[in-house]
Amino acid sequence: MGYKTSWLAVPGAGSRAVADALGLVGRVPMDWDSGTEAAYKRGVFVASPVEGWTLAHGRIHLDNGRDGDGPAMLDWLGALGRRLGDLQYFSTDRIGEYHAWARVEAGRVVRAYCYNGCTGDVPLRFGEPTEIERRLGVGERGLEEGRQNWSDEEWDDWHAAMPNEQHVMAIARNWGILPLEIPDGAPVDDGIYGFPPGVE
């Protein structure tokens, strides 16, 4: 879980609470390997807690097609935050160079950023960059006024400030947990696999 997918990381919540907040239907229990594999194809897998975090991932259906659109994504994150309190969201796809991350604290979205390399757009830039973003040199720039007159060098500088999948992994690690680094055999309990409303 990590590359070419989207996931939520929720501290201090159980898998049922996260599945309820996502409104998952058609739920079945699955272990980590089976649930992760299934959610790369369709649906959402909510793992049992590991290291104090509950992870939910779905390559297609986690964010229910919002694709980083500003108002819709912020509304969705805010609604989850009102149910769960604190949470983090990450999404990355190296093929389309689509990379996003967001942070919700005490039910309020405090940071969200999305870069879509297919369109050359930054459809979402909300809140101040965190320390790790500034250290990595990403998450600070959007589509800026006057870009129609930029030189090739200015465009090169802009593209160099856009994130890639390794930046997303580094931000996830710094903020709390990187799914790729969860030890084999953890979590030991089954999680919940299901579908957002209208997707079944």
**Per the domain annotation, does 20 fall within a domain?**
yes
Q: Cis omega before residue 187 (within 30°)?
A: yes
In tens, the pLDDT along 68-115 reads 566 788 888 999 999 999 999 999 887 767 889 999 999 999 999 988
The structural domain count of the chain equals 1
Measuring CA to CA, which residue among 12, 5, 11, 62 is closest to residue 193?
Answer: 62
Single pTM value for the model: 0.89
**Per the domain annotation, does 129 fall within a domain?**
yes
Whole-number percent of the chain with pLDDT over 70: 88
**Per the domain annotation, does 200 fall within a domain?**
no
- Domain ranges, residue 185: 5-195
Q: How long, in residues, is the chain? A: 200
Going by the DSSP 8-state scheme, the letter that residue 194 receives in this structure is E
Going by the DSSP 8-state scheme, the letter that residue 35 receives in this structure is H
**Per the domain annotation, does 29 fall within a domain?**
yes
